[in-house]
């Protein structure tokens, strides 16, 4: 069974007296463990699709299923629980909490959902592991303004993984990074994908991500022009 199933999805945004058709009848499935790139030029609909998969936005018509759950008509509390337990987010602007250090920023999502906390010692062991995996042991007590862009993105990756989600959504995760740092971040996410089996879904312009993906969906003007599984 697909971990994500998008069926005949349309998304229309009002713009003054007119309407913008951002997504136009898109359908695809994503298998658990995929490292998938949703690629296309600005305005092609890729971020809109990512937001609908993450339950940040809803389709105008059509359906989105996440881990077998139909998201249409869900109550806000149920959507929040689904996001906390199934989906992690990595943003291009990092979205770290300025007053929290590396360890605390990673821990933060666990504190929002009691079901993901475990005991204090279990939580510490898992966060310590993630800090090590993203290569930030020496910076665990530093706050975001003391970190480079690449280090901040590593914190964001660990934070997205801390609740052990099945899916991680990454919206242009290398857009604010130089090419060398961006490639290192992509390699880190691919390693997590292979080691943990986490499904990664990217909205991206970055050809490096497209090249390393095992599933590529290309969009243009809200339509899928290519849906290819590689390998």
Give whole-number Cα distances, 64 to 57, 126, 136, 214, in Å: 11, 31, 36, 22
The pLDDT assigned to 44 comes to 94
* Strand order through the sheet with 87-91: 87-91, 167-171, 199-204, 35-39, 215-220, 223-229
- Report pLDDT for 81: 85
Alpha-carbon Rg for the chain, nearest whole angstrom, is 18
Give the domains, in start order, of the chain with CATH numbers: 4-229 (3.40.50.300)
The residue among 82, 74, 62 whose CA lies nearest residue 167 is: 82
Q: What is the C-alpha to C-alpha distance for residues 153 and 100, in angstroms, rounded to an integer?
A: 15
The strands making up 4-15's β-sheet, listed across from edge to edge, are: 18-30, 4-15, 61-66, 69-70
Query: One digit per residue, pLDDT tens: the chain, 231 residues?
Result: 799 999 999 999 998 889 999 999 999 999 999 999 999 998 999 999 999 999 999 999 999 999 999 998 889 889 888 888 899 999 888 899 999 999 999 999 888 876 666 788 888 999 999 999 999 999 999 999 999 999 999 999 999 999 989 999 999 998 888 889 989 999 999 999 999 999 999 999 889 999 999 999 999 999 999 999 986
3-state secondary structure the chain: CCCEEEEEEEEEEEECCEEEEEEEEEEEEECCCCEEEEECCCCCCHHHHHHHHCCCCCCCEEEEEECCEECCCCCHHHHHHHHHHHEEEEECCCCCCCCCCHHHHHHHHHHHCHHHCCCHHHHHHHHHHHHHHCCCHHHCCCCHHHCCHHHHHHHHHHHHHCCCCCEEEEECCCCCCCHHHHHHHHHHHHHHHHHHCCEEEEEECCHHHHHHCCEEEEEECCEEEEEEECC
β-strands 35-39, 87-91 pairing: unpaired
């Amino acid at each position: 069974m697909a971990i994500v199933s998008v069926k005949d999805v349309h998304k229309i945004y009002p713009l003054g007296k007119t309407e913008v058709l951002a997504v136009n009848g898109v359908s695809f499935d994503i298998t658990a463990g995929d490292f998938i790139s949703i690629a296309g030029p600005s305005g092609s609909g890729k971020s809109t699709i990512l937001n609908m998969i993450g339950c940040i936005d809803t389709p105008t018509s059509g359906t989105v299923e996440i881990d077998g759950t139909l998201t249409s008509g869900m109550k806000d509390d149920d959507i929040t629980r689904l996001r906390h337990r199934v989906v992690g987010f990595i943003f291009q602007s990092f979205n770290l909490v300025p007053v929290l250090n590396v360890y605390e920023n990673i821990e933060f999502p666990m504190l929002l959902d009691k079901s993901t906390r475990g005991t204090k010692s279990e939580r510490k062991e898992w966060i310590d592991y993630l800090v090590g995996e993203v290569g930030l042991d020496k910076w665990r007590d530093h706050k975001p303004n003391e970190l480079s862009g690449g280090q901040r993105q590593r914190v964001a990756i660990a934070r997205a993984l801390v609740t052990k989600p099945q899916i991680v959504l990454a919206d242009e995760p290398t857009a604010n990074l130089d090419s060398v740092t961006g490639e290192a971040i992509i390699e880190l996410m691919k390693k997590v994908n292979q080691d943990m089996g986490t499904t990664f879904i990217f909205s991206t312009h970055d050809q490096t991500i497209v090249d390393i993906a095992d599933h590529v969906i290309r969009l243009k003007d809200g339509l899928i022009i290519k849906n290819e599984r590689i390998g």
